């Protein structure tokens, strides 16, 4: 009887050990799945897919944006597939993206430079454009979405100028017109003996310039590319000259401004 009992216990123990072993095997399999371990077939498929994604980036034929291409390369790196050929392709793709970013940065800088120059010209409005004409050119610049702080500031200034022009403010005439009107006002006021008005106009006009010593060049004659100038003077001396002579005998030929829109040089030509 004791022998039979021992055999039963031995069978039960073996059965329990078998069940325990099976449980450990299942747990081990689940552990492999939970850690994301790939089979050889899955790993090979992912490597091939990654290579195909990198090829157009490396060759520069991808139609995706820089940010989308960068995301793809980053996602492939995160997979840690550790394939020598794929690793080399990742390096090539990173180098290509660096080049692409540099090209895009340079292209944007050039667009910003062109837009900045155009906005300064529009603010100066030497061509006497109407508010509608200014707005049309401004909208073309805004559609570029340059996202540049200086461009945004110049845009706001031009929008304000356009609004004021439409409201009929006389001070929003083109700078060239305002200067020529000031020259005439100074001369006529002095001629009628109203020196206070002449002096006030001189002070207001000087505010257009970078300083009282901004150079003024007067063209005596011009034949083709050959230009003869009178003796150089400064804007303050020229305005005082208009008051003293009581006459304005020159037209504006060219206006040069600095980055802030102030006039740094004025070219006149005899009427």
DSSP state of 220: E
Q: What's the chain's length in residues?
A: 271
DSSP state of 172: G
Per-residue b/e over 141-178, b at no fewer than 16 CB within 10 Å?
bbeeebebeebeebbeebeebbeebeeeeeebebbbeb
Contacts by 63-66 with C-beta closer than 8 Å and gap 24+? 66/97, 66/100, 66/101, 66/104
Q: From first to last of its 271 residues, what are the pLDDT tens digits of the chain? A: 455 445 445 545 555 655 555 555 544 544 444 335 778 899 999 999 999 999 999 999 999 999 999 999 999 999 998 899 999 999 999 999 999 999 888 999 999 999 999 999 888 887 778 888 899 999 999 999 999 999 999 999 999 888 877 775 545 567 888 899 999 999 999 999 999 999 999 999 999 999 999 999 999 988 888 889 999 999 999 999 999 999 999 999 999 988 777 899 999 998 8
What are the structural domains of the chain? 44-101 (no CATH), 113-121+128-169 (no CATH), 173-270 (3.10.450)
> How far from 85 is each of 37, 69, 81, 102, 164, CA to CA, in Å?
21, 19, 11, 26, 64
Residue 183 to residue 96: CA distance in whole angstroms: 59
């Amino acid at each position: 009887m004791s022998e039979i009992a021992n055999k039963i216990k031995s069978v039960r123990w073996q059965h329990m050990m078998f069940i325990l072993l099976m449980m450990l095997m299942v747990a081990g399999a689940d552990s492999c799945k939970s850690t994301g371990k790939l089979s050889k077939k899955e790993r090979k498929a992912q490597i091939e897919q990654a290579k195909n994604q990198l090829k157009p980036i490396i060759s520069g034929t991808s139609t995706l944006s820089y940010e989308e291409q960068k995301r793809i390369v980053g996602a492939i790196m995160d997979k840690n597939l550790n394939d020598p050929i794929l690793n080399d392709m990742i390096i090539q793709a990173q180098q290509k993206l660096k080049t692409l970013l540099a090209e895009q940065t340079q292209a944007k800088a050039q667009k910003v430079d062109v837009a900045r120059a155009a906005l300064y010209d529009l603010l100066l409005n030497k061509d006497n454009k109407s508010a509608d004409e200014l707005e049309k050119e401004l909208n073309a610049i805004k559609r570029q979405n340059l996202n540049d702080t200086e461009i945004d500031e110049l845009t706001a200034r031009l929008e304000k100028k356009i609004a004021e022009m439409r409201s009929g403010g006389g001070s929003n005439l083109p700078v060239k017109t305002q200067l020529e009107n000031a020259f005439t006002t100074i001369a006529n006021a002095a001629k009628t003996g109203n020196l206070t008005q002449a002096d006030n106009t001189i002070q207001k006009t000087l505010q257009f310039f970078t300083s009282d010593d901004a150079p003024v060049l007067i063209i005596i004659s011009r034949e083709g590319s050959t230009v003869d100038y009178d003796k150089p003077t400064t804007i303050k001396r020229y305005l005082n000259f208009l008051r003293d002579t009581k006459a304005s005998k020159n037209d504006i030929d060219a206006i040069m401004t600095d980055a802030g829109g102030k006039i740094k040089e004025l070219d006149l030509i005899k009427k």
